[in-house]
Structure 1
Amino acid sequence: MSTRAVLEVIALDAEDAVAAQAGGADRLEVVTDMAADGLTPPAATVAAIRAAVDIPLRVMLRLAGGFAAGEVGLLVDAVHRMRGAGASEFVLGFLDAHGGVDMYAVERVVAELDGCPWTFHRAIDRAADRDALRKQLDGLPGLDTYLTAGAAAGVDDGLPTLVAEAARQGEPGYEQQILVGGGLQLEHVPRLREAGIDAFHIGGAARSAGWAGVVSVSAVAEWRRVLDAD
């Protein structure tokens, strides 16, 4: 019997968070500025969401669009602000100019997390070598999840890669949970579940009016229904 799938929903504010939880989300990814694909939110937003819901939330550590780390000292400051606002789980991922993982930036930030769980986000989909990236990150404290579409263009293109990586689960560099997101649609779910993938991430798909609107309880509930039925 398959395990209950994790459903993670992007929340921009407390209203989103309450709706996502009501619809059946298991976890939130908390960000701001989706025009830049999600940046570190204000500490006040994190505190308000933490007070409004009781499901886990993962807070984005990303200062600007793209996948360069930027000023690492500012990232460290962001960690302290987010932890002060009640965050205890995080999302991050930085690449260098050649598409390799920026280990200096990642290790500096992870040291400040002090063992908190974290997700390496879709920077993996822009990496020059996904396998090398996974093996470089292997063993870093707290890393338990990769958020990935399998390809930069999204899940439609990345399905074969996702299925192949799921088949390697448990190998060195592949112990972490695969959290599928990025152009994810309901019709992708059966094949992904068949491959053994049990974590799914939605943003725009949780909003009946797209990013112009708030999270829809009914939209999240439909995802919950499909995941629970599969």
Structure 2
Amino acid sequence: MEKCKLEIACFNLQSVIIAQENGADRVELCANMNEGGTTPDLEITNLAKKELSIDLNVMIRPRGGNFVYSDFEFEQMKLEILAFKKLKVNGFVFGILKEDGSVNKEQNKELVALAHPLPCTFHRAFDVVKDVNQSLESVIECGFKAILTSGQEKNVVEGIDVLAELVEKANNRIVIMPGGSLRSTNIELLKEKTKAIFYHSSAITGSRETASGDEVKALKANL
């Protein structure tokens, strides 16, 4: 069986370094934890890239709130992808929906094409789509390589059945990456039930927005 991997969502440079030092396989860099993550600062990303030997994925999300974007916001997302590509990041994380809760195939395809050859992950916008199975097919059709999801619940444990179903339905066509209150205390259960191969956690255990080295180690050890 393929060895399971761990991605750490980082909201500052300190977390990036902690993630790498304690065995993470990849970093997802974002800003604004309280908004659920938005596009990080270009300079901080550049510094992070210089610190890292592991992969660095960057979130492209102009604001918190819903995942339906104005023309102006969409243009902003395109410009951000081009700017971050110049920094030689390893991939992008984004997701655009339509007003009716379906995947906006046209806009997502455009961003995936712009990001090429870098891989793209469809983020937790997936947790608010109306039709999970139809959306899975739409995301695959758009050319995404992974979906970050809690199984449409507020955390991965509550969404575990949907996550297991998604992994099965994806059938190796796309990586289903459980994320959302994933911790070292529940990752074994998730692994056993979902059979996913990539997992996502902020590894934040206190009130600060910085990853805990011990938690990253424990997450990795329990994979």
**Shared fold (TM-score, shorter chain, > 0.5):** yes
Deviations 1:39-94 (A, max 9, x none): 00111111100000110011001001121233211111111111122223010111
Q: In the aligned structure 2, how far is the partner of 1:186 from the partner of 1:62?
A: 28
Q: In the aligned structure 2, how far is the partner of 1:213 from the partner of 1:13?
A: 8
Matched residue, 1:76:
78
Q: In the aligned structure 2, how far is the partner of 1:226 from the partner of 1:15?
A: 23
Flag structure 1 segments of 5+ consecutive residues without an equivalent: none
Q: Which amino acid counterpart does residue 192 of structure 1 have in structure 2?
A: L
The answer to whether the Cα contact below 8 Å between 1:180 and 1:200 also exists between their aligned partners in 2 is: yes
Matched, 1:150 2:147: no
Structure 2 matches for 1:81-230, cutoff 5 A?
81-141=83-143, 143-170=144-171, 175-194=173-192, 195-203=194-202, 206-210=203-207, 212-227=208-223
Alignment RMSD (CA, Å): 1.6
Q: Which amino acid counterpart does residue 120 of structure 1 have in structure 2?
A: F
Report how far residue 213 of structure 1 moved. Answer: 4.1
Flag structure 2 segments of 5+ consecutive residues without an equivalent: none
> Structure 1's 13 and 186: CA in aligned 2 closer, same or farther, altered over 3 A?
closer
Deviations 1:132-164 (A, max 9, x none): 1121232434x2111011014221321111112
Matched, 1:25 2:27: no
> Structure 1's 40 and 168: CA in aligned 2 closer, same or farther, altered over 3 A?
same
The answer to whether the Cα contact below 8 Å between 1:12 and 1:31 also exists between their aligned partners in 2 is: yes
The answer to whether the Cα contact below 8 Å between 2:30 and 2:40 also exists between their aligned partners in 1 is: yes
> Structure 1's 167 and 125: CA in aligned 2 closer, same or farther, altered over 3 A?
same
Q: Which amino acid counterpart does residue 90 of structure 1 have in structure 2?
A: F
SS of the counterpart of 1:111? helix
TM-score by length of structure 1 reads: 0.89
Deviations 1:89-132 (A, max 9, x none): 01011111110111232122112112310101111110001111
Matched residue, 2:67:
67
Q: Percent identity?
A: 25
Range moving further from structure 2, 103-112 or 175-184: 103-112
Query: Where do 4+ consecutive residues of structure 1 move more than 6 Å?
Result: none
The answer to whether the Cα contact below 8 Å between 1:30 and 1:58 also exists between their aligned partners in 2 is: yes
Number of corresponding residues = 219
Matched residue, 1:35:
34
The answer to whether the Cα contact below 8 Å between 2:105 and 2:142 also exists between their aligned partners in 1 is: no
Range moving further from structure 2, 21-30 or 215-224: 215-224
The answer to whether the Cα contact below 8 Å between 2:148 and 2:176 also exists between their aligned partners in 1 is: yes
Q: In the aligned structure 2, how far is the partner of 1:39 from the partner of 1:48?
A: 18
Q: In the aligned structure 2, how far is the partner of 1:30 from the partner of 1:43?
A: 11
Q: Which amino acid counterpart does residue 175 of structure 2 have in structure 1?
A: Q
TM-score by length of structure 2 reads: 0.91
